[in-house]
Structure formats: C-alpha cells, structure tokens
A and B are shown apart, each in its own frame.
Chain A
Amino acid sequence: MTTEDADFELRGELVRPYVITNGRELPSEREFSVTTLVTVTDEAPNSRVLSPESRSILDLCSGGYLSVVEIAGHTGLPLGIVRALLAELAENKLIWTRAPVPSAESADKQLLKEVLHGLRRRFA
C-alpha cells in the first residue's frame, strides 16, 4: 500500500463532513460554543453563491438570534459541521455572534440570582 492510499483510508469516515465544509478543519467548542447566539448581518442577503448548507443556515438565522446547537437541531447537521460552516460565514462577515456567559462567571452570585428569579417568574 502506498502512503497516499493509507492517508485516504484513514479519512474514509470523514469524507462527507469534509466535503460539506470544503476541507476546513472542524473548529473546537471554544470557538463556537453550543450556546453562542448567531444572527445574520446586512451583508447576508446579497452574499455570493454559498453551499446549500451555508445558505440554509443564513436563512434559518435571518429571523432573529438562534444558538449554535439550535442551528444544528433545525438543519439536522452534526454540531462540528455547523461550527465549521459558521466559522466560514463569520470570516465572510455574514453573521454576528454573541458568546455565552464566560466560564469564570458561571458561579457568579448575581447571575445565579437572575436565573433563579427568571425560573420562579416563569413557573410561579
């Protein structure tokens, strides 16, 4: 077996995702958290030709904000693929993102108070 064949063999399982993402590496959780919020920019409607998957993400996000994981849920694409497509869309300035509350603040008293009040209000 040549080296080239061996390389091909190893990538067998990932052919489809890599085709969708145009060969782009899958970004990590740290770049696009599951709860990062996404919406489209004014540039999005006039954007140049995109893959059908990227286009469906832009369409989905044009009504307001959705989280990364909701985009995956609605499009039926695996999270890693969604992250890769979002990275490309962000680079082309077609989406805005809002990062979630940073890890360091997840035990913040004021934040937890807000969560508690919000839940009590909803389920009173």
Chain B
Amino acid sequence: MTEEQSFLRNHWSYVASNTFRTLLMFGVMILVWWGTSEGQGDMTIYLAFILVMSVVIVALNIIYWLKTKYYFLEDEIVVIRTTIFRSETRIQYDRLASVNVERDVVCRILNATKLSFNLNSSMNVTKAEAYIVLKKDKADRLREDLNSRMFGTARTVPEASEEPREEAVSLVDVSTWDIFLHAFIGMSTYQLLFGLVMAAYSILSFYFDNSVSVFAIILFVVEFLMPAFAAFFRYFNYSIVRQGETVTVSSGFFSTRTDCFKLSKVNFVKIREPLICRVLGKSILEAEVVGTSDTKGMPLLCPLKDRDIAYNLFRDLLPEFVCEDLQSKQSRVSMVGLGFWTLVTVGIIAGFAYLLVPEIPSGFGMFLNFCVVLMYILCVGWFVLAYRNRSIAMNDSIVLAVTGSFDRVSNYILFDKIQFANVFSNPVERRYGAAKCKINMLSTVGATAVVTGVFEADYLEKVSETVMARIRDGRYDFRRFQ
C-alpha cells in the first residue's frame, strides 16, 4: 500500500459516538458506586475521575481515528490500522455477503452513517469484518458503488449533480398496525402465553391479596413487553426494495438499519406461523443471509401479513426456493416419541401441582388450578399439533422441512446450501425403519440445524444422497452463490 493512494477515514462522529458511549457507561458506574456509598462519598473525586477518563478516552479515540485508513481498491477493501496493535484487513469484493447501514441516535444527530462489511463465512457471522463511519451522502454513494461492484446493480443514489430520482417502492405495503401486530402476536406462542399468564397473575394477586406481585410484573415486562416493543421499534417504518438481484431491507425507529444483499446469498428461507397468526391466516417470511442479522433474529422479508401476501412475495422474490411437491406426513411411530415426552411433561406438572397447589390460599389456588389445567391442555395440544404439522417434501433442488407444533415453521432449503446431514433414530424408530434428519447449514449465528420430524429412514437418506449427487454430476456450481 503506497502513501500516495487515496484513502478514507472515519467521520469525526466516530470519535464523538465512541466517547459518548464510554462516558455514559462510566457515568452509570459512578452513579452506582456513589449510590452504594449512600451519598457519603466525595463527588469531586468521581467528577475528577470522569474528567481524566474523558481526556484519555478522547485522546485514544482520536489516535485510533487518525491511524485507521480505508483503501477501496479495484478488487478489495484494505483497512490498515497503525496503532500499538497493527493490523491489515483485506476484504475481497466477491467474498462480501452484504453491506449494511446502521444509524444510531448519535449518527442521526451528526448526519453520519455506519457501513458494515460482512463476509459469507461462518467465522464472521455475528460480527462485521470491518466497518466505516462516513457522512451520510458519502456513505450512500460508497454503498451504492460497492453494491454495483458486488452485485452488478445500477446506481440508485444520485450524484450531487444528478436530478433526484423517484423513491423506490416497497415490495410489500407495511403499515404501523402491521408492525404492531408483528411485534405483539408474531412472537412464539410460549412467550405470548407466558406473558399473558404473568399479567393475569399480577392482576389477580392485586385483586385477592391487595399486594402487587413484583416478580410476576418483572417477568411480564422482561419476557413479553420488552421484546414486543423492541421488535416494534426495530421494524418500524419497514420497507423492502428489489433492484435487479439485490434486495434492500430497511427499518427502525430510534436507530435505523438497512440491510442490502444479493438474492443468491440467501442460505435458506423460513415461513413462520405462530398459532395465533395461523388462526388469523397470517405468516412471517424470513431469510437467512450471513451478515444481515444479529442476535435479535433473522432479517425479515415480510413482517406479519396475510398468508397470500407473504407467499406471493416469496414466489416473486425467491422462486428457486419454492417447493410445491407433495409433502410426506410423519410416520405413525413418531407418536411414541411425542407421547413419551407429553407423558413426562404431564407427570412433572402433576408432581408440582400436587406439591404446590394445596399450599396456596384459595384465590391463588384457583388460579394455579386453572394454570395446571391449561398446561395439561397445552401438552395434549402440543402432541396433536407436533404430529400433524411436521412434514417433509423434496424435489431435485429443494428440501422443504416443516417443523414445530404450536408455532409452525416451513424451512425451504436448497440442497446446494446444505453443509451436511445426519440421519438418526432411537430404538423404537429403528424397529419401524423410521428416523429423524438433522440438516446442518451456515447461518447468521454461526451454524444452524433444522431437525425434521420422524419419517422413513430411507427417504431421509435421500437428503445426503441428493447433496452428493448434485456435487458429483456438476449441478452444484459454487459460482452461482458468489
């Protein structure tokens, strides 16, 4: 790398954002220390400490900022850092899975944008390989430039001299009400029920005992309200736009996020239908693309919408993932395993009910009895739905594995994206020639596996056989997914 080559540096908001975050953390820590000393501590010492730390942090951030250079070369991005720990990161454009845009509150105030570069590798799935913070218009142009290099798409962000273009239209029309429904009823049935039971428990404890059950309220807030509001703010103002083979998904209330990926980088597709959504005829469409997700979940292609809308989008966007072959139902022997786990769960619930319910005062006793009956019903419901829902279908390029019980998930997996498969069986299943199959794939959180229901072992062996057959006869072409 020569000194003459032009390079980019992070926008100064990078220093501001990092300093702000660190100082906020120190501030909270000092408040906690001061609080634990019951206000007896000398505040000037803490303030002096904050001042010294601020100077040190600002200085370190400025050094880090000045010593980090980004070179956008013909074939690759080179990030050179010449701080105490020197590093040089090289990212080839053809290995990039996605370039994502994140704008937190500081970035929005200072009109900056953070671009993160993600590789299609299991080693870098949850953490971006590199990122750069630039002024918004500069970041938009750079992202478009990188997208055109990676995906061969036309430019969509106008140069300063160009006339502004019409804004691209979202593939699905998503209202705030849709996002509200997605956030509150799109969660798993267990989570929804648990939240509602905790809410009911805290109301009843107030009614019968004139006291508030803090533990139940905390569980209700942590397990239900917080995830629901987090999802609402995360997917607020949702839009999905397609330009050629590139899809751009953007959303966010406080922090906005834009994920941009090539359709060929989709590892597999999920259609999620939690029980209540299924009853309302609604579905959620998700895609697994490395680098476009974090620990909060897979990127959405369509939030909770009518089933027809979600399926039509799926067919339009990812036709190669569609599998409309006849689905095989589970082998009857699966009832043995499902029945076993149902009986074990019923036994545990009965044991707890026997030990706990008589100890509780009458009002709560009634409520707990109701909960116990509800859990018995849930166990039976789980048994019936787990037997009915799980199915499998295959053609020569796709395997469709439907899993789940209350929450049905249809996994559409390309054979070419399967890393390896494991067909396994317990003694009862073996006796009847049945088995389950664990299909291992690359995912946004490292590696993931889909475990099918119980089907004929010979049929499940076809998963591995087809993967091998496609490699051997050349139907698998790695260039297709680059």
Q: Do A and B come from one complex?
A: no
Residue numbers of A with Cβ under 8 A of B are none
